[in-house]
Structure 1
Amino acid sequence: MSTPEAALERVHARITQACHRAGRPRDSVRLLAVSKTRDVAEIRALHRLGQTAFGENYVQELIDKHDALEAPPEPAGIEWHFIGPLQSNKTRAVAERAAWVHTLEREKIARRLSEQRPEHLGPLQVCIQVNVSGEPQKAGVEPDALPALADAIAALPHLHLRGLMTLPAAETDPERQRIPFARLRELRDDLCRRGHELDTLSMGMSGDLEAAILEGASLVRIGTDLFGPRPA
């Protein structure tokens, strides 16, 4: 059975090798540990090994884990990322707890997050989720609608638009994996030409992080390879 130390080392080794292949510095890619369905003890074990950023898909899990781990007198100091679908009636809990939100796809949700973000926490770092694969069942804004949404989000006072995120269709061929990631990079570059200062591409998971890094990922979201298969 793999230990947390061994799993973390393996993932960092994969990222390092992919960065080397891409001709990129290792510190150009951050690791986000996807801790959905994992318990507080598992998160604490990775955090003690130096992993600081954790991603949650469900609002109630974010609430429970944040409040357990950030309670005084010794808050963990974790950087919490919300990476799941967000409904308008649950934005306040996320605005009050998360440092990042990766899944914005509607201006209404963005406005609520901005309005509900506590002043003392500073701006909420956000990414727009883009449906680059055109799958009707997938969340994310369509590429044609992206510029208008980016303009609207960038104008909100308590949000900082950092970049784009995608969750493409599953693909096992390494070269085909690169296609949607390249598309997301092109969309990011287009927004930069339009005047947005974006530094984040949130893309790549356990099965395709190498392809994502080759196409410019700055943050990879890894769950299975860090924690093992999820419980049924």
Structure 2
Amino acid sequence: MSAIAENLKRVQDRIDRAIHRSGQSADAVKLIVVTKTWPADVVQQVVDAGTRVLGESRVQEAQHKVPEVDGVVSWHLVGHLQRNKVKQALPLFDLIHSVDTLRLAKEISRCAVRRNTPTRVLVQVNTSGETSKFGISPNAALDLVAQVDDLQGVSVTGLMTIGAFDPDPEAARPNFVLLRQIRDRIAIHKPHVSALSMGMTSDFEVAIEEGATMVRVGTAIFGQRAV
């Protein structure tokens, strides 16, 4: 077994234990292996080890990488999406995690209608309040979800957030709690808005304990990012 395959197994074991602590069902959490900066031959190792969902942060990088990775794989865009990259992004990704403005959502709608292919998205919420992060403010999230979900060719399936940057994973717990609370309020009228994409290498176990349905992990599997 390769080192990457061993790391993948360790991460999955940690996910399983966190799921058990959270009381969720065994298959409640989807692992998205984030491939940012890693070449296709390295990414292929996690696919060969059983990974079926990969995350990429940049459209340009995905354009080169997606065709080179063999296997039945679902690609998610987990990084910020610029409006001028939407046309290139839609054929590559099954889910976009980072919609945080109506302008971006309208461009996705326009391109999705032109392709005659619906696009699933998550609305990104800045639950930590850190100005370095993208995301709609929590008090505007409900309105944005309603507006985006009404657009033709776009379906909002959940929310995404990035926890506070802190060595202590517990520092991110309030951010994850807040996202779950926002989701629960939205789901009263829109039960299909159920996914919670939250938690990365430093804090994914805390995120799962607070109800994450998707975690985005790269460094714990590949090691420090390639330059």
TM-score by length of 1: 0.92
Structure 2 equivalent of residue 186 of structure 1: 181
Q: Give distance in 2, aligned partners of 1:100 and 1:28.
A: 18
SS at match of 2:173: helix
Gaps of 5+ in 1: 70-74
**CA 1:189–1:225 in structure 2 vs 1: closer, same or farther (change >3 Å)?**
same
Q: Give distance in 2, aligned partners of 1:231 and 1:187.
A: 35
SS at match of 2:178: helix
Counterpart mapping for 1:208-223 below 5 A: 208-223=203-218
Residue 159 of structure 2: which of 142, 145, 164 is its match?
A: 164
SS at match of 1:160: strand
| Alignment length (residue pairs) | 227
Shift of 1:61: 0.5
Shift of 1:196: 4.7
Structure 1 equivalent of residue 29 of structure 2: 29
Structure 2 equivalent of residue 230 of structure 1: 225
Q: Does 1:129 align with 2:140?
A: no
**CA 1:133–1:68 in structure 2 vs 1: closer, same or farther (change >3 Å)?**
same
Shift of 1:198: 1.5
Q: Which amino acid aligns with 2:5?
A: E
Shift of 1:138: 1.2
SS at match of 1:117: helix
Question: Would the aligned equivalents of 1:15 and 1:26 in 2 still touch at CA under 8 Å?
Answer: no
Structural RMSD (CA): 1.9
**CA 1:170–1:67 in structure 2 vs 1: closer, same or farther (change >3 Å)?**
same
Q: Which amino acid aligns with 1:168?
A: G
Question: Would the aligned equivalents of 1:96 and 1:116 in 2 still touch at CA under 8 Å?
Answer: no
TM-score by length of 2: 0.93
Q: Give distance in 2, aligned partners of 1:174 and 1:113.
A: 34
SS at match of 1:20: helix
Q: Which amino acid aligns with 2:78?
A: I
| 1:71-130 superposed Cα distances (whole Å, 9 cap, x missing partner) | xxxx63321100111111110011121101000001111121122127778422210110
Off by >6 Å, runs of 4+ in structure 1: 118-121
